[in-house]
Amino acid sequence: MVRVVSRRLIQLVITLIALTTLVFFWLRSLPGGPVDALLGERATPQTRELLIKALGYDQPIWVQYGHFLKNVVTGNFGNSIRTGEPVMDVIGRSFPATFELALAAIIIAIGLGVPLGYLAARHRGRLLDNATIVITLIGISIPIFFLGYLLKDWLTQSLHLFPPSGRISTGTDNTDVTGFFVLDGLLTREFDASADALWHLVLPALTLATIPLAIIIRITRASVLDVLDADYIRTADAKGLRNPTIRKRHVLRNALLPVVTIIGLQTGALLAGAVLTEKVYNWGGLGTLITDSISGSRDYPVLQALILLAALVFVVVNLLVDLSYAIIDPRVRVR
Amino acid sequence: MSQLAEHKRRRIDELTARTAEAGGVSLFRDAGRRLLRNPTAIVGATIILLFLIMAIFAPLVAPHDPVQRFPELTKDLTVDSIPGATAGHPLGSDPLGRDFASRMVYGARQTMFVGVLATMIGLLLGVLLGAIAGAVGGWVDVVIMRFTDVMLALPSLLLAITLVALARQSTQWTVILAVAIVNVPIFARLLRGSMLAQRESDHVLAARALGVKPRDIALRHMLPNSLTAVIVQATLTFAVAILDAAALSFLGLGDPDINRAEWGLMLGVDGVRYFEVRPELAYFPALAIILVALGFTLLGESMREALDPKNRR
C-alpha cells in the first residue's frame, strides 16, 4: 500500500515538473516572447531593454528556468498583464466561486448518477433503463453551453423559477468571509443571503453536472451489469442470501471501482466545463478568468498559473482515487 | 422412426450447421454480422449517412448560396428582429440577411470537414507515437508515455483552449489542430497498449521464430492487428471533436471567417448572441450537432460491442 502510494506520488511530481517545464518553454517560444506580450507593440527600444533587465531575461536560460521553478514553488507567478495585480491574488479571488460551483455539480452528478445507473442496470431492458440510456446519450451529445442557454431561457425567462445569472442577487446584504457565498451566509447567520446564493447555484450546477452525470450513469450501469453476471453473485443467490445483503455486500462493492475512477476523471475535468458554464451564467470564477485571459490581449502569467492549477487539481484528484481503491478493494491493500 | 429421434436428429444437424458457420468466420466478419443485426448501429450509421449525403450534395440540396446576402431578408433585419420563414427562405434569415436553411445544409460540409480532419490528424499523430512507443520500447517508450501523461493531466477542452491561445490569431486550422492534438495522447496510449498485448502473442512469436525483421513484425503483424481499437476510438472521437470545436467558437476562439457556415460557429457565435431574439438560430445548429454526435457515438459504441470477444458466439 505504502509502495503504491509513494510510486504514485513520485509519478505525480514528475508529471507536474514536466508540465511546469513545458509551460516555461512554451512562454519563451511565443512569437515575440513574453516581453512583447507585456509591452504591446508600441513600446520603445529603451522600455524594452529596461523590462528585459527587470524580468531577468538577459540572463542565461537555465538561470531563468531556475528562477522560474523557485517562483512556482513559492507561488509567485508575477503580475497579471490585464490588471497588474499579483497573479495569486487574482486567482485567489476567483477560486471560491468555481469551487462552490464544481462542488455542487459533482454532488448532483454523483448523487443522481450512481443511483440512476444502478436502477437502470437492475431494470435492464425495461422502460426505466431505456429512458436512462436515451437521456445519457443526449447528455453527452449536447453542447453544454447550449443546454445552459436552454435552461436559462425556459426556467428563468419563461417560468421565472431561477435567477438568470450571477452568484447572488444585487442588493443582497451579504458579508464576504470565505468567498463561498452559501457558506458565508451560514457563518454570519445571514440565512437569506445563503438561500439566495444557493438559488443562483442551481442552474449553473445542473449545466456543469450534465456530462459527468451522463458518464457516471453509463459507467455505473455497465459496471453493475458486469457484476450481476458474475459467478459469485449467482453463488450468493444460490446460498440463499437475502437480496439486500447481496446488493450491499456483493453487487455495489464490486461495481464501485470503475465508478470511482470515472468520478475522479470527471472531477478533474470540471474546470473545462466551468469555462463554458461560467460564461453562460456570468459566474465570475476561474472559468471566466481563463476566458478573460485569452480574449483580446493574452494574459500569459495568469494563464500559465491556471494551467498548472488545473493540472495540480487533476493529478491530486486521481491520487485520491487511487487511495480510495484501497478502502473499497482490500486486494489493492495487499499488493 | 419415432418422432423423438427425428426431432433430435434435426437439432443436431442445426447445431453442426451453426458451428461450422461460426468456426470459419473471422473476427471481422463475425463482428460485421453482429453490427448489421444491431439496431443501435443501424440508427447511428443511418444518421451519419444522411448527413454525409447532405454534405456531399450541399449545392444541390441548399436552396441558395450560403454567403449571399438577400435584399428581401436584410430589408426587415434589425438587432432586435431577425426575419423568420418566408417564401423561398424556409428557415428565414441569419443575422446578416443570408438564407439560414442554405447555411445549415452547407454547415454539414464544414462541420464534417472539421470533425473528420481533426480526428484523422489526431489519429495519425497518435498512431505514430503509439507505434513507436510500442515497437521500440525502452526509454523511448518511457519518454512518450510521460509526455502523454502530461497532456492528459489537463482536461481536454482546457488543453485545446491553451493550444489555441498559443496562436496569435485563431483560424479554422488552429481550431482543427487544437482539437486534433488533444486526442493524440488517447490514440497513442490505446495503440501502444494493444501492441504490447500482442508482443507475446502466438502470431508474433511465430513471425519472430521465422526470422522476420523486427521492423516488419511491428509494421506488418502488430500494427494492423492493433488498429481495430483505434478505429472504434476514432468514431467516438469525431463526436467529441465537433463538440469541442463548437465550444471553442462559443469562447470566441473559433474561426473568425464570418462567411464560414459551420454549425459550431453558427451556434457558438450568432446562436447564443441572438438567443432571445430568434432562438431558432441556436436550435437548428444545436440539433444538427447533437444528431451527428449521437450518430457517431451510437456507431462507435456498437462497433466496440461487436468487436468485444466476450460477445462472440
| CA B15 – CA A157 distance, rounded (Å) | 64
Q: What is the pLDDT of residue A31?
A: 57
Cα separation, B160 vs B156, whole angstroms: 6
Using the Cβ of B12 and the Cβ atoms of chain A, whether some distance falls under 8 Å is answered with: no
- DSSP one-letter code for B310: G
Phi, psi at residue A241, to the nearest 5°? -65, 145
pLDDT of residue A274: 94
Tens of pLDDT along B95-125? 888 899 999 999 999 999 999 999 999 999 9
- Residues B47-82 as b or e (16 or more Cβ within 10 Å = b): bbeebeebbeebeebbebebbeebeebeeebeeeeb
Residues of chain B contacting residue A10, judged by C-beta atoms under 8 Å apart: none
The predicted complex's ipTM stands at 0.86
Of the candidates B161, B291, B293, the beta carbon closest to that of A275 is on B161
B148: chain A residues, CB-CB within 8 Å: none
Contact B293, B285 (CB under 8 A): no
Residue of B nearest to A298 (CA): B165
| Residues of B in Cβ contact (< 8 Å) with A269 | 155-157
Instruction: Sort out which chain B residues have CB atoms less than 8 A from A153's CB and list them.
Output: 275-276, 279
Helices and strands (DSSP H and E) totals, chain A: 16, 0
Alpha carbon of A186: minimum distance to chain B alpha carbons (Å): 33
Contacts of residue A276 in chain B, CB cutoff 8 Å? 157, 247, 250-251
What percentage of chain A exceeds 90 in pLDDT?
29
From the list B271, B294, B41, the residue with the least C-alpha distance to A214 is B294
**Which of residues B158 and A196 earns the better pLDDT score?**
B158
Question: How many angstroms separate the CA atoms of B133 and B189, rounded?
Answer: 9
Whose grid coordinates read 501492441? B195
Tens-digit pLDDT profile for residues A214-248:
999 999 999 999 888 888 888 888 887 777 777 77
Contacts of A211 (CB under 8 A, 6+ apart): A139, A140, A144, A266, A273
Alpha helices in A157-299 (DSSP H): 181-187, 191-228, 231-238, 243-245, 253-268, 270-281, 286-294
- Tell me if B300 sits within 8 A of B239, measured CB to CB: yes
Cβ-nearest to B246 among A15, A143, A270: A143
| Whether the predicted pLDDT of A32 surpasses 60 | no
Q: Return the pLDDT at A332.
A: 66
Strands (E), B46-159: none
* pLDDT band, residue B245 (cuts 50/70/90): very high
Q: How far is CA A46 from the centre of its chain?
A: 43
Cβ atoms of A80 and A301 within 8 Å: the answer is: yes
Which of B290, B298, B305 to substitute to test the interface with A, most A CBs within 10 Å? B290
Whether residue A19 and residue B153 make contact (CB cut-off 8 A), yes or no, is yes
Phi-psi category of A284—alpha, beta or left, where left has phi over 0 and alpha has psi -120 to 50? Answer: left
The reply to whether B162 touches chain A by the CB within 8 Å rule is yes
| Candidate from A144, A153, A310 with C-beta closest to B279 | A153
d(CA B29, CA B19): 15
